[in-house]
Amino acid sequence: MRHLVTLDDLSNFEIEQIFRLAAGMQSQHDTWAGICRSKLLATLFYEPSTRTRLSFESAMERLNGGTLGFSDPSSTSVTKGETLADTARMVTNYADVIVVRHSWAGSARVIASHANIPVINGGDGSHTHPTQALTDLYTIIRRKSQIEGLTVGVCGDLMYGRAAHSFALAVSRFGGNLVHIAPKGLQMPPWILNRLSQIHGQIPLEVENVTEVIETLDVIYVNRLQEERLPPNVNAETVRGSYLLNAAVMKNAKPDAMIMHPLPRVNELAYELDEDPRAAYFEQSANAVPIRMALIASLLGLEQLILTQPPIRYIEESSYQCKNPNCVTNHETYLVPEQETFKGNEEVNACAYCGQLVA
């Protein structure tokens, strides 16, 4: 049994297989309809969602499977104090695969640890969003044929944007060259930068304004300001202006550049760009369905992946209590802290749940 909690749960070759399967499902839908007949997907959404929840439900329905779940945790037993571990054990009895979204970093890992069916991370706090990253890479490959060698600008709120975190790590794994574009205070967090340098040998260029580098970018990946996670001293409108993408800015971009956004957008991506042939964000949103179809079928074992060794992770129990207040270990007190160790030029230790570096 396999889970997808972070992209570290899949090897690059397995990801490429999922892309090939998604392309087949996208072009020959009728061939694959029925593969999940009698299977049920549980959607456990403790946080608001439109695209992720609906695309997962659409994916399962297109495979002739069924869905059950919730999008409002206040109507569930969580209000009575039910833990994530017990929710996982309970839902295991009702479904064949789980997708979970939660505001706590590391929550999907807890669900996966206590479920005996495959679990997919639909976004955990400001940690990661691996299925969005799969969709993003697939969209780039459909237009550009490859990731390797491309200059990829990741713009916006990089501190709290989980889509940006997964995307940057994925681009680096496949040989893309990263440029991080973010206002002060919202740059990519140290735990991501450390993984990029130690595991992937990449030190991205960091700038504050997209106009500084727009002419060099093959892909421009814009992220919204995560206002629900911002500290109160950050002025949203001031920082958003530093990476606003509009027609005037795009005049200096490459003719074949791609404009991407995981959506929803909130004033950082001008509507006037919707008709620009370089805009790929609605195509990106549509691609989420075949990617999630392929992922569901693969994790359920209904379409056989040639399994290869995903990146090896060295994880062990630890006495270190994570200092990240949003880490699930600081909310679900029965959890035993775990520490991940990885090596590059130096040995680095991090919380195995939320990725925050251990001081």
- Residue 346 has a pLDDT of 84
> In this predicted model, what pLDDT tens digit does every residue of 16-49 receive, in sequence order?
999 999 999 999 888 888 899 999 999 999 998 9
- Local structure of residue 84 (DSSP, 8 states): H
Q: So what CATH class is 7-129+286-299? A: alpha beta
Q: Among this protein's residues, is 101 annotated catalytic?
A: yes
Q: 7-129+286-299 with 143-281: one CATH topology?
A: yes
CA distances in angstroms from 110 to 2, 86, 331, listed in the order given: 14, 10, 12
pLDDT in tens, 179-214: 999 988 899 999 999 999 999 999 999 999 999 999
Q: Can you spell out the DSSP letters for 180-221?
A: EE--TT-SPPHHHHHHHHHTT----EEES-GGGTGGG-SEEE
Chain-wide mean pLDDT for the chain?
A: 93
Q: Length of the chain in residues, anyone?
A: 359
Tell me the percentage of the chain whose pLDDT exceeds 70: 95
Q: What is the pTM of this model?
A: 0.94
- Catalytic residue, chosen from 52, 128, 139, 329, is 52
pLDDT of residue 292: 98
**Set 51, 143, 144, 229: catalytic member:** 51
- Per the annotation, the verdict on 51 as an active-site residue is yes
The CATH fold assigned to 143-281 is: Rossmann fold (3.40.50)
Q: Please work out, in degrees rounded to the nearest 5, the angle formed at the alpha carbon of residue 171 by the alpha carbons of 165 and 173.
A: 105
Q: Considering 129, 195, 261, 292, which one is annotated as catalytic?
A: 129
Q: What is the pLDDT of residues 283-303, one digit of tens each?
A: 999 999 999 999 999 999 887
List 79, 80, 184, 251, catalytic entry: 80
pLDDT tops 90 at residue 76: no
Phi, psi of 44 (to 5 degrees): -105, 95
> 330 with 99: CB under 8 angstroms?
no
Contacts of 191 (CB under 8 A, 6+ apart): 350, 355, 356, 357
Pairwise CA distance, residues 332 & 107, whole Å: 9
Of 62, 101, 165, 173, the active-site residue reads: 101
Residues 271, 274, 279, 280, Cα dihedral to 10°: 100
**Region 44-62: what's the mean pLDDT?**
95
- What's the whole-number mean pLDDT along residues 228-246? 68
Judge whether 151 counts as a catalytic residue. no
Examine the residue annotation and report whether 129 is marked as an active-site residue of this protein: yes
Structure tokens at 318: 């630890």
Residue 233: what pLDDT? 64
Give tens-digit pLDDT for 101-142.
Answer: 999 999 999 999 999 999 999 999 999 999 999 999 999 999
Which region among 11-20, 306-315, 350-359 has the lowest average model confidence (pLDDT)?
A: 306-315
Q: Report residue 304's pLDDT band, with 50, 70 and 90 as the boundaries.
A: confident
> Which residue ranges make up each domain of the chain?
7-129+286-299, 143-281, 314-351
Please give the pLDDT value at position 129: 97
Q: How far is CA 263 from CA 52, 85, 130, 167, 333, in A?
A: 10, 30, 15, 14, 34
Rounded to whole angstroms, how far apart are CA atoms 50 and 287? 15
Mean pLDDT over 158-170 rounds to: 96
Cis preceding linkage at 264, omega within 30: yes
> What's phi and psi for 317, nearest 5 deg?
-60, 150
